Structure 1
Amino acid sequence: MTASATTTADTSRIRHVVLDMDGTIYKGGTLFPWTKPFLDSLTQHGIGYTFLTNNPSKSSADYLAHLERIGIPSAPEQLYTSAQATIDWLKANHPEFRRLFLLGTPSMIGEFTKAGYESANDDPADIPDAVIAAFDMSLTYARLCRASWWASQGRPYFATNPDRICPTDQPTVLVDCAAICAAIQSATGRAPDRVFGKPDPSMVTGILQRHNLRPEEVAMVGDRIYTDIAMAQNAGVTGVLVLSGEATRQDAEASSVKADIIVENLAGLGEMLIGSR
């Protein structure tokens, strides 16, 4: 174990690693130099991995294409988005839902359609089984009003992720799902019935079910304490904080949410995982 790493966890039982993306495997659009060696080492030692994102605005195919462009070709089962977590939860808990009013990008609507759902029109006669609000970069005023109408009428109402803004290096503010939901709540007094995405544990439980894993066999790795590490705690898996993105060691020491493992970057985690085999 490197001198800068700290751990209170037994890593010998870890069979699968769940990886946040920006700040963990890359920064902006640039892959960290240690990412590919880390992933190759996991594969060589029979440890699986899944990439995780709260951003539902792109489809799985879009994300897989992005990963391939930056040098990480991946299979569909190695990616899990907040849209997929929402779909899995709906199927498990509300199999009767078929028609949804989807406040999301065309890519996200396509993801729900592919999963067997129908997209309700902006029409008061087209009553949906539920409303889904997401990070909608194609948002129109009319559809925001229609989503608010259905929320005010008591239709089941869910949000794909709790992010207020989406990070960007451009001179703008990318209004994300929580801010859109705040507009609906201000207009109707109604908050979503449930918010998916990190730190909601459904983001991990979906992966556990997909790969037939137990919580003690999984490590959740990310650079944000209040989403990545909080979700690890909520889901009962090992929480690994990497210091290659947002959080600093000082942040970790000051936070009431504690990581099981703190490493400078994925290279340190790789040494720990392989060294315990």
Structure 2
Amino acid sequence: MPATVSASLSRVRHVVLDMDGTIYNGGTLFPWTKPFLARLDALGIGYTFLTNNPSKSAAEYLDKLARLGLPSTPGHLYTSALAVIDWLRASRPDLRRLFLLGPPGMIAEFGRAGFQSADDDPADSPDAVVAGFDTSLTYARLCRAAWWVSQGRPYFATNPDYVCPTDQPTVLVDCGSICAAIEAATGRAPDRVFGKPDPSMLAGILARHGLQPGEVAMVGDRLYTDVAMAKNAGCLGVLVLSGEATRADAEAAPSAHCPDFVFENLAPLGEAIADARQTPPVSGHH
């Protein structure tokens, strides 16, 4: 292993893991995920599952992980819906009643955080609109969201993804595509788009665990979200080729999306981290 690679990976104290395309594909757990997590545990390295997909609540994600054989705690999980909630609490506490374009799990997550959900009614005026990956999308609610956006309400999106990875024979139209429809109808894009590559998705994890950016490796299968967010937050950006991006994509990536490391999947990454821990430090490096 090159000394520079070893030095970078030897400093890793926490691994942030994208979910779809990295630890599983749809409902199928990759065979290397459990051994990789066991290796992190053995090395004393923490980890957090991170997802741009806000269509499930944190509790639903934990249930899914448990069904896949990955029992986890709330401290192991961070979603783009939670990022929006945290930001609204800190930066816009005046926005309490929201028109939420999202499925029941996402609406429930906001409800547990103390927000009110506006009805599909022109008389029920919201403080803001939050568009998410709405897997229960209806035409009427899409039109109502566009109406409030056209009326100038503050407008936020949980994530920029156009499609969600799946192992099923379909295309899952994601939040970015829903927002594109609203923009085509109203001429207005979201005021802020949360989720990867927004660095706030990593800032909370750094603060929670008392970490410096160089001690965190962000691992995912997408250049323009996972790797770009790592770059934006000053963390190591690791691309795995088990999902969307290919090696050719990585080689052609602009500097803002260029990964620090590329691995076929989590298995060789785990080996590289373990090897880096066992490699004596290079003279002159700390």
In structure 2, what residue type is equivalent to 1:206? Answer: G
Question: Within 2, Cα distance between the matches of 1:244 and 1:189?
Answer: 36
Q: How does 1:33-48 map to 2 (within 5 A)?
A: 33-48=31-46
In structure 2, what residue type is equivalent to 1:271? Answer: E
Structure 2 counterpart of 1:131: 129
Which residue among 161, 165, 176 is the counterpart of 1:163? 161
**Structure 2 residue 252 is matched with structure 1 residue 259:** no
CA shift, 1:217, in A, is: 1.4
Q: Does the Cα contact within 8 Å between 1:88 and 1:206 map onto a contact in 2?
A: no
Structure 2 counterpart of 1:18: 16
In structure 2, what residue type is equivalent to 1:196? Answer: F
Which segments of structure 1 move beyond 6 Å, counting only runs of 4 or more? none
CA shift, 1:208, in A, is: 1.7
What SS class does the counterpart of residue 219 from structure 2 fall into?
strand
In structure 2, what residue type is equivalent to 1:123? Answer: D
Q: How does 1:85-234 map to 2 (within 5 A)?
A: 85-234=83-232
Question: Within 2, Cα distance between the matches of 1:43 and 1:176?
Answer: 33
What SS class does the counterpart of residue 262 from structure 1 fall into?
strand
Change (3 A) 1:264 1:172: closer
What SS class does the counterpart of residue 47 from structure 2 fall into?
strand
What SS class does the counterpart of residue 213 from structure 1 fall into?
coil
Q: Does the Cα contact within 8 Å between 2:51 and 2:78 map onto a contact in 1?
A: yes
Question: Within 1, Cα distance between the matches of 2:21 and 2:95?
Answer: 36
Structure 1 counterpart of 2:283: none
Q: Does the Cα contact within 8 Å between 2:40 and 2:46 map onto a contact in 1?
A: yes
Question: Within 2, Cα distance between the matches of 1:56 and 1:155?
Answer: 21
Q: How does 1:4-15 map to 2 (within 5 A)?
A: 7=5, 10-15=8-13
Change (3 A) 1:106 1:16: same
Structure 1 counterpart of 2:60: 62
CA shift, 1:41, in A, is: 1.7
CA shift, 1:221, in A, is: 0.3
Q: Does the Cα contact within 8 Å between 2:25 and 2:165 map onto a contact in 1?
A: no
| Higher mean displacement: 174-183 or 128-137 | 174-183
Q: Does the Cα contact within 8 Å between 1:8 and 1:260 map onto a contact in 2?
A: no
Question: Within 1, Cα distance between the matches of 2:169 and 2:263?
Answer: 32
What SS class does the counterpart of residue 232 from structure 2 fall into?
helix
**1:70-93 Cα distance to aligned partner (Å, 9 max, x none):** 111111110111111111111121
Identity, in percent, stands at 73
Structure 2 counterpart of 1:275: 275
Question: Within 2, Cα distance between the matches of 1:82 and 1:182?
Answer: 18
Q: Does the Cα contact within 8 Å between 2:25 and 2:167 map onto a contact in 1?
A: no
Question: Within 2, Cα distance between the matches of 1:219 and 1:251?
Answer: 20
CA shift, 1:9, in A, is: 5.9
In structure 1, what residue type is equivalent to 2:236? Answer: T
Question: Within 2, Cα distance between the matches of 1:230 and 1:195?
Answer: 14
**1:155-175 Cα distance to aligned partner (Å, 9 max, x none):** 110001111222334443322
TM-score by length of 2: 0.89
CA shift, 1:8, in A, is: 8.1
| Higher mean displacement: 52-61 or 172-181 | 172-181
| Equivalent residues, number | 274
What SS class does the counterpart of residue 186 from structure 1 fall into?
helix
Q: Name stretches of at least 5 consecutive residues in structure 1 with no aligned partner.
A: none
Q: Does the Cα contact within 8 Å between 1:8 and 1:261 map onto a contact in 2?
A: no
Change (3 A) 1:140 1:248: closer
In structure 2, what residue type is equivalent to 1:267? Answer: A
| Higher mean displacement: 180-189 or 57-66 | 180-189
Question: Within 1, Cα distance between the matches of 2:149 and 2:131?
Answer: 10
In structure 1, what residue type is equivalent to 2:238? Answer: V
Q: Does the Cα contact within 8 Å between 2:21 and 2:165 map onto a contact in 1?
A: no
**1:44-71 Cα distance to aligned partner (Å, 9 max, x none):** 2221101111111111111111111111
CA shift, 1:94, in A, is: 1.0
RMSD: 1.9
**1:95-135 Cα distance to aligned partner (Å, 9 max, x none):** 22211110110110000011111111222232222110011
In structure 2, what residue type is equivalent to 1:75? Answer: T
Structure 2 counterpart of 1:71: 69
In structure 1, what residue type is equivalent to 2:239? Answer: L
